[in-house]
């Protein structure tokens, strides 16, 4: 199969997987939480891009705010205030008054018991009806009793005005999910309706529930219009204002004009117009009785008036005549506060006002029927077209075409929202399209990379990926020569290789070595090192070139630790197979060295040379003598900034180098909560005594180390050395190579 055929097959498999994933996500009527969240945020973005738009002007908000609180006192106010408000609004010519308030309990009347007690006292004294002045007194008392009943005053005002809509509330409903999702619009859970007191309920022109529930992210975007045979408050107000009846069923809500009833005692009834279908108003529900609010902007835009100003007659009549007045709380701490797609806080009365105005204007956000098919079609278009682009054009041209396609789709969705109030699916189809473009581009670029893989495969046997990348970008660097720079070199060698080779067959030995070398090489490359070469069972690597890295000592030390961790994992596996345990020693060295392409024009390696490279090799050899895993010199340790746990081992002269070197055991990384290694302090004290030629005290300190760490080889070595120096100091003079004691131990062999 050719490359292009394989590529097309890969494209089809990828597109098929994307289609299956996104079509499944978009098929459900109730989208998955992640999909719903993304679509909600997409809708919020459309509102912000659309900007401000004015409401109809038919809705006025009469607010409970600072001016009213100053006039009538703290909330709650006497219901006589609302009685006065209704009378004034009727005088102003308001057509409908909607109360976004609840009156579930009778108002407490503190005046009435006093008046009734006074009147009863006069009766008991036998003063009633004795003369004309007493009769006048009792008539006045009856009048005061009547005026003290605020519920009665409010109910009389409601009955007189004939345009008041009061609020109700369903108790026991936590969120919109407690409303049924069935087409019958009937809730599955039993709930209790909190209604106004009977006198107010009977006098009101209509009732409507005030419950509104946010989406999963806490934002108000939808409102339920109908629950059982109850209307929401805004719908009840709109029905009265438009003089319509509401029909609900099969997930639809329709406002139909009505003719006045012939029975004046049934003011809330109506007769359906026989040919009403032509003038009925269908509300854009989602199929379950919910509607999406069409918000007007950061400022709701409604005319706001103070209740106190209305009662005082300080409002121009044309602001209220023929309008719907919705009464609710605007002062902080009284009413409910909700976030919307355009603002983080808005009083709930403005949510009701927005819904009411949307209904009057018939500009609720629209959703298409059979939305799952709309989403399916959009996903198919945005997935299949990029596939066609990829098969026809180059990858970059396909990318450009895909970006234009996605941008055109997003712009079209925004255009429909701004001009038609239509909520077309955005995030899911767009996500499917973008995922397709990205996946196809990655597949194409991967195919191009595979065509050149043989080059990298050949070089990767000798060079690190970083060097290969540089050589691919800058082939002119394939010349002899180098540069001197500070680097850190790492040498690693197997300690018991001879014993290991004798216990394994040649094929088994080669297999083990390949596994060992491959695993440790992976660790080097993972940590930014450059593999220099393999020398039998030994590995040489360096850090800080070809890419400059000031943290090369830290990376080299971390690599050494990680190599032992990975080797322990291998040894656990080999132990189960009966393979002898490998003993590994590592030496590191930091300093100036020459790095570059070394060799002939026919064959060269990217390698390092220099005295510090030799030092790393010598330190690796000392691991066996001191019985430790990793040895580093002072030049390396001084770059570690306390990030690693080290133990000073000795000051030595290695073969081929006259200057003494202080060497350290690299124990591990320093981590939070690590215990304090007290035995290290004992070893350091012993080392100080040793250098002061206090060999007896030094032995005691080294024995303290063995008490905490019985198998510590360096402590045993110094105990032996100290005893030898005490008993026969002349035998050690060749090793000390100095007439004056300086504590430096000289090694004459590699």
pLDDT at 103: 94
Contacts of 130 by beta carbon, 8 Å cutoff, 6+ apart: none
Q: Report the DSSP pairing between strands 96-99 and 164-171.
A: parallel
Give the end-to-end CA distance of the chain in Å, rounded to a whole number. Answer: 57
Question: What does 539-574 look like in DSSP terms, one character per residue?
Answer: EEEEES-SS--TTHHHHHHHHHHHHHHHHHHHHHHH
Percent of the chain with pLDDT over 90: 43
Question: Which two three-digit tokens encode residue 320?
Answer: 């209220």
Lowest mean pLDDT among 8-17, 200-209, 455-464, 673-682: 455-464
Q: Answer whether residue 489 shows pLDDT above 50.
A: yes
Q: What are the b/e assignments for 317-343, b being 16+ CB within 10 Å?
A: eeebeebbbbbbbbeeebbeebebbbe
**What would the pLDDT profile of 133-170 be if each residue is shown by its tens digit?**
555 444 554 554 445 578 889 999 999 999 999 999 99
**What would the pLDDT profile of 410-434 be if each residue is shown by its tens digit?**
999 999 999 999 999 888 899 888 8
**What would the pLDDT profile of 637-653 be if each residue is shown by its tens digit?**
999 988 899 999 999 99
Q: Which long-range CB contacts under 8 A does 526-531 form with residues at least 24 apart?
A: 526/562, 527/555, 527/558, 527/559, 527/562, 528/466, 528/555, 529/464, 529/490, 529/555, 529/556, 529/559, 530/463, 530/464, 530/466, 530/467, 530/606, 531/462, 531/463, 531/464
Q: How far is CA 218 from CA 41, 175, 522, in A?
A: 12, 11, 49
Instruction: Indicate if the alpha-carbon torsion angle 738, 742, 743, 744 is positive or negative.
Output: negative
For residue 14, being part of any structural domain is answered with: no
**What would the pLDDT profile of 536-557 be if each residue is shown by its tens digit?**
889 999 998 877 889 999 999 9
Burial class (CB in 10 A: 0-12, 13-18, 19+), 390: buried
pTM for this entry: 0.56
Taking the mean position of all CA atoms in its chain, how far away is CA 663? 49
Burial class (CB in 10 A: 0-12, 13-18, 19+), 501: middle
Q: What are the b/e assignments for 213-235, b being 16+ CB within 10 Å?
A: bebeeebbbbbbbbbbebbbbbb
Report whether 196 contacts 101 (CB < 8 A): no
- Calpha distance 559→566 (Å, rounded): 10
Q: What is the 3-state secondary structure (H, E, C) of 413-457?
A: HHHHHHHHCECCCCHHHHHHHHHHHHHHHHHHHHHHHHHCHHHHH
Q: What is the mean pLDDT of residues 671-691?
A: 85
- Calpha distance 699→693 (Å, rounded): 11
Lowest mean pLDDT among 268-272, 280-284, 685-689: 268-272
- CA atoms lying within 13 Å on the CB side of residue 527: 23
Lowest mean pLDDT among 192-201, 214-223, 435-444, 633-642: 435-444
**pLDDT confidence of 572, banded at 50, 70, 90?**
confident
For residue 750, being part of any structural domain is answered with: no
- Calpha distance 226→178 (Å, rounded): 13
- Calpha distance 103→171 (Å, rounded): 14
pLDDT at 458: 46
Domain count, the chain: 1
pLDDT at 274: 40
Q: Answer whether residue 297 shows pLDDT above 80.
A: yes
Q: Give the number of residues written for the chain.
A: 750
For residue 334, being part of any structural domain is answered with: yes
**pLDDT confidence of 248, banded at 50, 70, 90?**
confident
Taking the mean position of all CA atoms in its chain, how far away is CA 32? 17
Lowest mean pLDDT among 13-22, 306-315, 538-547, 697-706: 13-22
Question: Which two three-digit tokens encode residue 413?
Answer: 């969705």
Q: Does residue 121 or residue 56 have the better pLDDT?
A: 56
Q: Answer whether residue 66 shows pLDDT above 80.
A: yes
Domain that holds residue 325: 59-109+149-361
Q: Which long-range CB contacts under 8 A does 705-713 form with residues at least 24 apart?
A: 705/679, 708/678, 708/679, 708/682, 709/679, 712/627, 712/679, 712/683, 713/626, 713/627, 713/628
- Calpha distance 222→211 (Å, rounded): 11
For residue 209, being part of any structural domain is answered with: yes
Taking the mean position of all CA atoms in its chain, how far away is CA 117? 67
**What would the pLDDT profile of 91-133 be if each residue is shown by its tens digit?**
999 999 999 999 999 987 655 554 455 555 555 555 555 444 5
For residue 265, being part of any structural domain is answered with: yes
Question: Which two three-digit tokens encode residue 433?
Answer: 């399209």
Q: What is the mean pLDDT of residues 518-530?
A: 89
**What would the pLDDT profile of 355-400 be if each residue is shown by its tens digit?**
999 999 888 998 877 778 888 888 889 888 888 888 888 778 888 9
- CA atoms lying within 13 Å on the CB side of residue 149: 14
Q: What is the mean pLDDT of residues 184-189?
A: 44
Q: What is the mean pLDDT of residues 265-282?
A: 49
Question: Which two three-digit tokens encode residue 584?
Answer: 């590994």
Q: Answer whether residue 443 shows pLDDT above 70.
A: yes
Q: Answer whether residue 701 shows pLDDT above 90.
A: yes
Report whether 651 contacts 687 (CB < 8 A): no
Which letter does DSSP use for residue 529 in this model? -
pLDDT at 266: 41
For residue 528, being part of any structural domain is answered with: no
pLDDT at 241: 95
pLDDT at 120: 58
Question: Which two three-digit tokens encode residue 492?
Answer: 């690693």
Q: Answer whether residue 181 shows pLDDT above 50.
A: no
- Calpha distance 335→330 (Å, rounded): 7
Residue 27 dihedral angles phi and psi, to the nearest 5°: -80, -25
Question: Which two three-digit tokens encode residue 703?
Answer: 């024995």
Contacts of 313 by beta carbon, 8 Å cutoff, 6+ apart: 88
Mean pLDDT for all residues in the chain: 82
Report whether 309 contacts 270 (CB < 8 A): no
3-state secondary structure of 493: strand
The helix, strand and coil proportions of the chain, stated in percent and rounded to the nearest 5, come to: 50, 20, 30
For residue 257, being part of any structural domain is answered with: yes
For residue 432, being part of any structural domain is answered with: no
Percent of the chain with pLDDT over 70: 79
Q: Answer whether residue 731 shows pLDDT above 80.
A: no
């Amino acid at each position: 199969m050719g490359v292009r055929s394989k590529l097309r097959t890969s494209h089809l498999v990828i597109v098929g997987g994307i289609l299956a994933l996104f079509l499944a996500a978009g098929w459900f009527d109730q989208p998955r939480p992640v999909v719903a969240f993304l679509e909600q945020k997409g809708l919020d973005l459309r509102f912000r891009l659309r900007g401000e738009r004015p409401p109809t002007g038919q809705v006025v908000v009469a607010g409970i705010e600072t001016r009213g609180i100053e006039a009538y006192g703290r909330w709650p106010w006497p219901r006589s205030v609302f009685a006065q408000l209704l009378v004034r609004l009727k005088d102003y010519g308001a057509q409908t008054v909607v109360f976004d308030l609840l009156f579930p309990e009778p108002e407490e009347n503190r005046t009435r018991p006093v008046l009734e007690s006074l009147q009863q006292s006069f009766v008991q004294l036998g003063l009633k009806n004795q003369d004309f002045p007493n009769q006048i007194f009792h008539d006045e008392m009856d009048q005061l009793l009547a005026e003290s009943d605020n519920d009665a005053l409010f109910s009389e005002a409601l009955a007189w005005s004939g345009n008041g809509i009061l609020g109700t509330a369903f108790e026991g409903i936590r969120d919109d999910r407690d409303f049924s999702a069935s087409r019958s619009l009937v809730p599955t859970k039993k709930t209790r309706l909190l209604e106004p007191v009977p006198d107010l309920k009977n006098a009101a022109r209509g009732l409507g529930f005030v419950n509104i529930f946010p989406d999963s992210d806490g934002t108000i975007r939808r409102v339920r219009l109908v629950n059982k045979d109850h209307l929401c408050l805004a719908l009840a107000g709109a029905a009265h204002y438009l003089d319509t009846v509401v029909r609900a069923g099969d997930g639809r809500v329709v406002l139909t004009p009505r003719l006045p009833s012939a029975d004046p005692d049934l003011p809330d009834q109506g007769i359906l117009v026989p040919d009403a279908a032509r003038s009925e108003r269908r509300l854009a529900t989602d199929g379950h009785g919910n509607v999406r609010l069409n918000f007007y902007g950061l400022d709701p835009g409604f005319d706001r008036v103070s209740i106190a100003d209305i009662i005082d007659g300080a409002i121009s009549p044309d602001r209220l005549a023929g309008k719907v007045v919705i009464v609710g709380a605007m002062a902080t701490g009284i009413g409910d506060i909700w976030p919307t797609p355009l603002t983080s806080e808005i009083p709930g009365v403005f949510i009701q006002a927005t819904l009411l105005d949307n209904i009057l204007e018939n500009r609720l956000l629209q959703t298409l029927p059979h939305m799952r098919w709309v989403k399916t079609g959009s996903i198919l278009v945005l997935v299949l077209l990029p596939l066609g682009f990829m098969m026809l054009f180059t990858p970059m041209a396909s990318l450009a075409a895909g970006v234009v396609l996605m941008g055109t789709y997003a712009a079209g969705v925004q255009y429909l929202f701004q001009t038609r109030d239509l909520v077309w699916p955005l995030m899911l189809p767009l996500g499917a399209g973008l995922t397709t473009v990205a996946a196809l581009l990655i597949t194409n670029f991967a195919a191009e990379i595979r065509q050149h893989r043989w080059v990298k495969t050949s070089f990767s046997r000798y060079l690190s990926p970083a060097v290969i990348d540089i050589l691919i970008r800058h082939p002119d660097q394939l010349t002899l020569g180098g540069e001197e720079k500070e680097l850190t070199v790492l040498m690693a060698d197997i300690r018991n290789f001879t014993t290991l080779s004798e216990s394994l067959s040649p094929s088994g030995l080669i297999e083990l070595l390949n596994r060992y070398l491959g695993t440790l090489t992976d660790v080097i490359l993972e940590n930014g090192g450059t593999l220099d070469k393999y020398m039998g069972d030994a590995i040489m690597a360096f850090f800080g070139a070809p890419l400059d890295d000031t943290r090369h000592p830290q990376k080299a030390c971390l690599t050494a630790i990680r190599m032992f961790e990975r080797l322990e994992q291998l040894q656990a596996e080999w132990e189960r197979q009966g393979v002898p345990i490998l003993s590994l020693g590592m030496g590191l060295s930091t300093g100036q060295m020459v790095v570059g392409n070394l060799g002939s024009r026919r064959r060269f390696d990217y390698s390092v040379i220099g005295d510090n490279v030799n030092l790393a090799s010598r330190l690796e050899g000392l691991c066996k003598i001191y019985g430790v895993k990793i040895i580093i010199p002072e030049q390396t340790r001084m770059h570690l900034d306390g990030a690693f746990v080290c133990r000073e081992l000795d000051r030595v002269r290695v073969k081929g180098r006259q200057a003494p070197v202080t060497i350290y055991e690299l124990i591990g990384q320093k981590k939070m909560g690590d215990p304090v290694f007290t035995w290290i302090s004992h070893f350091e004290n012993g080392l100080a005594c040793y250098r002061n030629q206090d060999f007896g005290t030094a032995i005691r300190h080294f024995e303290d180390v063995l008490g905490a760490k019985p198998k510590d080889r360096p402590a045993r070595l110094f105990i032996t050395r100290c005893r030898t120096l005490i008993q026969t100091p002349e035998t050690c003079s060749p090793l000390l190579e100095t007439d004056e004691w300086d504590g430096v131990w000289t090694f004459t062999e590699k």
